[in-house]
Structure 1
Amino acid sequence: MKASRRAVPDDARSATIVALRSTIVALATAFVSATGLLALLAGRVARRVVTPSARTPDTTIVDVDIVAQTITLSRSDDTVLPGRYGLFTTGTKSYVKLGTVLTARGDTVTRKLLTEIDENDRLTAAAAFSGWYFAEPGELHLPFERVMVPTALGPCPAWVFPAGQPTDVWAVHIHGRGTTRAETLRAVPVFHAAGITSILTSYRNDTDAPRSRGGSSALGATEWRDVDRAIGYARRSGARRIVLMGWSMGGAIAMQLAMNSAHRDLIEGVVLDSPVVDWRQVLTHHADSSGIPRPLTRAALGALTRPWASAVTGAADPIPWGRLDVLARSGELVTPTLILHSDGDDFVPAQASRTLRDRRPDLVELEEFERARHTKLWNYDEERWSSRIREWLDTQGLSGGAASSS
């Protein structure tokens, strides 16, 4: 006699199937939602990386004394440091120069004003502390000319400061991300004193330069091509030896030029101030500081390498992290390099610069400052900064001002 099976009512079986299907759908929906949320968040993080940054207020003007010509700011790691700096403002002045710290009490710091403020001036409270100091080329009181550098995207404006005597040595000055070539004006006097002609060039997506497809930053992966055209301009103007001077992301561009330039035969030296040596380290540092989980950071960096993710990331072209990693490519370097960096730089930490020096001690020298902030080494200790560069130029045989006979 066969054992009988207990019959399951059709409505109960149907209910079970519906419940299982509902559970599967719910789990699938949750997985897709979680994955989609991760992708969305990663895309937002990635978009922040490649979107050209705008200057944002980072200090507050508490008081301006027009009799004593002093200004009181909210205290921060930047505003309390000694030296000469600048302050981007809004109102009747767009930029003022700041001198020495007079007092630092509690949460405020009072500095000497080097730009005159009178009773007719009105400054809004929100301001941005800057290391630029010089805002216009005429402030250097050196002869200069405005030129246009032809590039594949269109002409890029540049300033040329001729050396005092004929020379075949030119310095190509490269500014950082979200700034302009005015940032690099601080370096012109030391190169001029060394008898070197300087060209300060713009590149794609600067406010006065051609816009790239999409208008996004490639973190140096494409921008170097515009600067390479500036080297070509110098070559056509008589340059036979080139020194690259890069600031922050301009340092990343300089290293791309040192390895990829069509004019590598002319590049005899590289000077870097607070350079980006490996973008992944810098961006991971910022993500950690912002509390962004590491998996999300890795997803964002990965998305920036994928052409299909461009609609989410905002990157017009994939970012080639490996090509931008100078540490991984250190064996390709052939150009003597001087790095100036500070242990107080919390924007582009100095550790990668130290690692590059340790990997290539035959080519790379590192002058490490203490306390100075990102790209503000000149401001913090102008004499040490200038003398170290001048000493290095002398050692490399790049100063002197006389044109070669070749």
Structure 2
Amino acid sequence: MKSLRHAVAIAVPAAIAAGAAVAFAVFSTARRVVMPSPRRNDVQIRAVDTGAQTIELARTPDTELPGRYGLFTTGTYGYVKLGAVLSVDATSVRRKLLTQIEPGARIDRDAAFSGWYYVTPSELHLPWESVLIGSPAGPCPAWFFPASASETAPTWVIQVHGRGTTRSECLRAVPVFHGMGLSTLVVSYRNDGEAPRSRGGAYALGASEWRDVDAAVGYALRHGAQRIVLMGWSMGGAIALQTAVSSGHRSSIAGVVLDSPVVDWRTVLRFQAREAGLREPLPALAMGALENSITARLSGAENAIPFDRLDMVARASELQAPMLILHSDDDGFVPADASHALAEARPDLVTMPTFGVARHTKLWNYDQDAWTSAITEWMRANGLARDTA
């Protein structure tokens, strides 16, 4: 009996400790899903040659991609633009600098590779103005690029950026739509660092953010738009899809363009968990915690995350507007599986050309001509572009 009590005395605290460790892991994982986080440095700068205007980076699947990209840095420059790959070896990539780096400049070693390319609207050399969209979250700043200085286009494009980024992500697409004679509104939404912060400051993965985009749709319709094309990048795709099926203005939504979109969060989170070395049942438990109103708040979410409602493959029958999905098959962050599943579920609505190599939200950077042609041809085929010739 004494030995049994001794065993129980050892086992019970151990079980409690193990349970506490699992709970901590579950809630920590869930919290990472919903809480905004600062930009993560993901590459190291090995050398900068100011004479040749080249930069050497540690080799990664992103840094060796052909095309034009950006690099968030610290020191003398906050952001530099990168051009062609000049050489690659086992550990390093040397690229052409498109931002002039002066001799004596300090560039810190840690950096973040980016597909943004443009950071400010003035870099596009197009007419634009800052506007505020009155949304349920409060006044959300937006950039408005009119079709021309003399008239208002009947079709407006509303662009929605992704998770952990800002409006600058969308600037690459503005000249494409401007060239088709369309006005573009590039919007922000709650908790993105530019729009108002909600009470808890957490993402709802599209379940709440769509209301801010819907407010932008209303703004466009009040200012002369007759038809709306939504464009969403990454999580912005999830937000655009929620807007398309939930908006009170859905009859005015004439098309949806998605770049590397989140179509089903469960697919994305399971993939990212595997990439991070997390094994089941931890990802399932974390998603379960986010679905429950009590444990969701313990995870940092303001409300339960409705994963069923965010699964647009399951809700494919509710979609009405034609859709173009641009998604690299080797995305590496948001797998293209759910995009393909949506295209298969709604072949009457969804056009999905094949892209590869480009990885996540970098299709424009990798092959600007093919990306631009896909959008232009689809817009014209659906009667959404104006003839500006």
TM-score range, shorter chain: over 0.9
The whole-number CA distance in structure 1 between the counterparts of 2:382 and 2:340 is 21
Structure 1 position 105 matched with structure 2 position 89: yes
| Matched residue SS, 1:342 | coil
Contact 1:66 1:118 (8 Å CA) reproduced: yes
| 1:105 Cα deviation after fit | 2.1
Amino acid aligned to 1:360: R
Q: Is the 8 A contact 1:196 1:401 kept in 2?
A: no
Q: Report deviation, 1:145.
A: 0.5
Q: How does 1:231-380 map to 2 (within 5 A)?
A: 231-380=217-366
183, 186, 193: which one aligns with 1:197: 183
CA contact (8 A) 1:169 1:401 kept: no
Amino acid at match of 2:111: A
Alpha-carbon distance, 1:36 to partner: 2.9
Instruction: Give how far 1:318 is off.
Output: 0.8
Corresponding residue number in structure 1 for 2:127: 143
Partner residue of 1:12?
none
* Counterpart secondary structure, 2:327: strand
| Cross-structure match for 1:40 | 24
**One-letter code of the match for 1:204?**
R
Partner of 2:33: 49
Which letter maps to 1:314? G
Partner SS state of residue 122, structure 2: helix
Specify the code of the residue in structure 2 equivalent to 1:99: G
1:71 paired residue number: 55
User: Structure 1, residues 115-148: CA drift from partner, whole Å, max 9, x if none?
Assistant: 1111142110111110000000000000000001
Q: How many Å separate the matches in 2 of 1:311 and 1:392? A: 42
Aligned amino acid, residue 183 of structure 1: E
The 3-state SS of whatever aligns with 1:265 is helix
Paired position in structure 2 for 1:395: 381
Residue 187 in structure 1 maps to residue 173 in structure 2: yes
Distance apart, 1:31 and its partner CA: 4.0
The secondary structure found in structure 2 opposite 1:378 is helix
Larger Rg: 1
Deviation at 1:70, TM superposition (A): 1.0
Retained in 2: the 8 A contact 1:166–1:401? no
Following the alignment from structure 1 to structure 2, what is the Cα–Cα distance between the partners of residues 311 and 237? 39
In the TM superposition, residue 21 of structure 1 has moved relative to its aligned partner by 5.4
CA distance in 2, matches of 1:116, 1:380: 22
Residue by residue over 1:88-130, the C-alpha shift from the partner in whole angstroms, topping out at 9 and shown as x without a partner, is 0000100001111111123111111111111142110111110
Kindly provide the amino acid, as one letter, of the partner of residue 366 in structure 1.
Answer: M
Contact 1:247/1:274, CA 8 A, preserved across alignment: yes
Counterpart amino acid of residue 192 in structure 1: H
User: Whole-Å Cα distance in 2 between the matches of residues 123 and 248 of structure 1?
Assistant: 30
Which of 63, 70, 81 matches 2:65? 81
1:348 maps to a residue whose letter is V
Asked if 1:130 is matched to 2:149, the reply is no
- CA displacement 1:151-177 (0-9 Å, x = unmatched): 122111000000025311000000000
Instruction: Give, in whole Å, the separation in 2 of the partners of 1:127 and 1:283.
Output: 25
Partner Cα distance (1:72, 1:307) in 2:
48
Q: How many residues align?
A: 386
Q: Give the counterpart letter for 1:110 in structure 2.
A: R
2:164 paired with 1:161? no
Is 1:225 the counterpart of 2:247 in the alignment? no
The sequence identity of aligned pairs, in percent, is 55
For 1:7, the equivalent position in structure 2 comes to none
Give the secondary structure class of the aligned counterpart of 1:178: coil
The Cα of 1:259 is off from its aligned counterpart by 0.3
Deviations 1:262-319 (A, max 9, x none): 1101101000000001101110011112221211111110000112114531111110
Tell me how far apart the structure 1 counterparts of residues 86 and 239 of structure 2 sit (CA, whole Å): 38
Report if the CA contact (8 A) 1:70-1:111 is conserved. Answer: yes
Amino acid at match of 1:240: Q
| Structure 1 position 27, deviation (Å) | 4.8
TM-score normalised by L of structure 1? 0.92
Aligned-pair CA distance for 1:29: 4.3
Cα-to-partner distance string for 1:39-86 (whole Å, 9 max, x where unaligned): 221001101111113211111111111111111111111111111100
Query: What TM-score, normalized by structure 2, do the two folds share?
Result: 0.96
Partner AA of 1:114 in structure 2: L
Aligned-partner residue type, residue 38 of structure 1 = V
> How far does the alpha carbon of each residue in 1:345-375 deviate from its partner, in whole angstroms, 9 at most, with x for none?
0100111111111111011111221111100
Deviation (angstroms), 1:227: 0.9
2:109 counterpart letter in structure 1: A
**Corresponding position of 1:4:** none
1:166-195 deviation line (CA, Å, top 9, x unaligned): 311000000000000100000001100111
Asked if 2 retains the 8 angstrom alpha-carbon contact of 1:163 and 1:401, the reply is no
Note the C-alpha offset of 1:211: 0.3
* 3-state SS in 2 of match to 1:317: coil
How far, CA to CA, are the matches of 1:279 and 1:46 in structure 2?
Answer: 13
Q: Does structure 1 retain, via aligned residues, the 8 Å contact 2:297–2:303?
A: no
Give the Å deviation of 1:30.
4.3
CA distance in 2, matches of 1:28, 1:262: 55
Q: Name stretches of at least 5 consecutive residues in structure 2 with no aligned partner.
A: none
Separation (CA, whole Å) in 1 of partners of 2:49 and 2:14 = 60
